[in-house]
Amino acid sequence: MTKSSMFISSFRRCDNLHVPPRLHATGKTIIPHFNSEESLYRRVHPRHKPLVPFLEIDIKDLSVNRSGIDNSISFREDVLINSENDFGNYLEDDGWKVCEIYIPMLLLKNNCCRIISEKSRSGPGDDYIVVHLTHDPTTCNYAHSMIVFIYNGFQVIDENYDATLGSKALKNLRKACRDELHKAVVSVT
């Protein structure tokens, strides 16, 4: 498959999913730094309490959309577009909300990561989590980004959640992460 046919194929796939062309990632580069003037947007399932959208989630990679400065990358409602499959958009489903997250509450100066720690129960030193933002575009969602959690040097993902941050002994550390996420929420609408 040639580069131009891959581009056309990607465009058609995104178009078939009713994804606006401005969100298509083809030909766009990753923007590694997040600006303090940006927001992050995350879908909130109707069953989650809107005022505490992170209460019932596992602390592992969280998918979000980044706004860019002055919404140059995406708008808040874009996070409700289902850009991965043709099962319909979240916009069409009753009850879905958008959570807006204020980036400076997640990061420290100079785009550095937030570090959350507590005294280790299993040995000397502290258990710690580094919260990091990563621009991670998908074919049909250039705005796609991740809030990544790194526990004691290991990125927390589905496959290692139980062996890392999912441990019962780390309940307080998970709560501290959720508290940091809650502090960063600007609105849920």
93 DSSP 8-state letter: S
Q: Which residue type is seen at 39?
A: S
Q: DSSP letters along 66-89, please?
A: E--GGGSS--GGGGGS--SSSS--
Check residue 4 and give its pLDDT: 39
Check residue 97 and give its pLDDT: 85
> Which residue in this structure is represented by tokens 């919260």?
131
Check residue 3 and give its pLDDT: 44
- pLDDT tens, residue by residue, 141-184: 999 999 888 888 889 999 999 888 888 878 888 888 888 888 88
In the chain, where the domains are located? 3-188
Kindly report whether the global pTM for this prediction surpasses the value 0.75. Answer: yes
**C-alpha torsion angle, residues 54, 71, 139, 80 (rounded to 10):** 50
And the tokens for 100? 């807006």
Check residue 49 and give its pLDDT: 67
Check residue 5 and give its pLDDT: 37
Check residue 25 and give its pLDDT: 92
- What is the Cα 85 distance to its own chain's centre? 18
Q: Are strands 114-119 and 97-102 parallel, antiparallel or unpaired?
A: unpaired
Q: Which residues of the chain have pLDDT under 70?
A: 1-12, 17, 48-52, 85-94, 106-114, 119-125
Q: Residue 178 region, left (φ>0) first, then alpha (ψ -120 to 50), else beta? A: alpha
